Amino acid sequence: MKTLESPGSLSLVRRWLPFCAVFGVSCWLLTGTILATDGEWTGLEVSDRERLFHRLKFLRMKNPGDPVNTFRIGNLYQSLEMEDEAIKEYRRCLRINPEYEGAKWFLSHVLVSKGYFDEAFRLTRELLDKNPEDPRLYAWAGEILRKLDQPELAKEYFVRETELVTTQKEAPAKQLSSIKEAQK
C-alpha cells in the first residue's frame, strides 16, 4: 500500500475518491491505510485509531447536529471495548436523532454485554416496531429475553424469526413459479 508521502500516491487518491463519492463510503486516507467507517464495520482494525478518533471529533465539532460522526465515535469505542464510552456516544447520537436505527442496534448490544437487559429489549422492540419483517431483530429480542429468564416469551420470538427466514427463502421460488406461469 502506498502512503501519502510515497511517489504515485496522488494517483491512488484520484482512484479512491470517485469510489468514495459514488458509493457513499466515508473514506480517509491515513498513512498506509484506507478506512471506511460505516456502522457495519465496528470491528474494523485500524492502524491509526487515535488519528481516526480526532478526525471524527473534529467532524462532529463542525456539524454537531449530524448524528453520523457521533455514531462512528461510538463504534470506535465499541471496537476498542470501551463500552461505557460507547454507551455515552450512542445515547448522544439518539438525543440528536431518536430514530437512528444503527445507534439503537449497537447500543442494545453494548447494553446486553453490560447486563442492562431491560433497556436493550426496549430498544430492540422499537426497532421491531419499525421493521416487523426483520428476522435478525426477532432473534436478538429472543436472546435478550432468554437472558432475562423468560424462555416462553423468547421461544415466541425465535419461532417468529424462523417463520420469517422460511418465508424469505420461499419468496423467490414463488415469484419464479408465478413468472413461469405467466409466460405460458
Domains of the chain, start order: 21-114 (1.25.40.10), 115-173 (1.25.40.10)
Better-predicted residue by pLDDT, 113 or 25:
113
Mean pLDDT to the nearest integer, 109-125? 96
Q: Is the pLDDT of residue 59 over 50?
A: yes
Shortest CA distance to 13 belongs to which of 36, 28, 47, 45? Answer: 28
CA atoms of 108 and 34, how far apart (whole Å)? 29
| Full DSSP string of 9-67 | HHHHHHHHHHHHHHHT--EEEETTEEEE--GGGTT---TTHHHHHHHHHHHHHH-TT-H
- Residue 86 CA to residue 116 CA, distance in Å, equals 14
**What does the alpha-carbon distance between residue 59 and residue 41 come to, in Å, rounded to a whole number?**
19
The confidence score (pLDDT) of residue 13 equals 40
Q: How far is CA 138 from CA 40, 113, 129, in A?
A: 19, 18, 11
pLDDT in tens, 121-130: 999 999 999 9
pLDDT in tens, 157-179: 999 999 999 888 776 665 556 56
* Interatomic CA distance for residues 71 and 75, integer angstroms: 6
The answer on pLDDT for 48 being more than 60 is yes
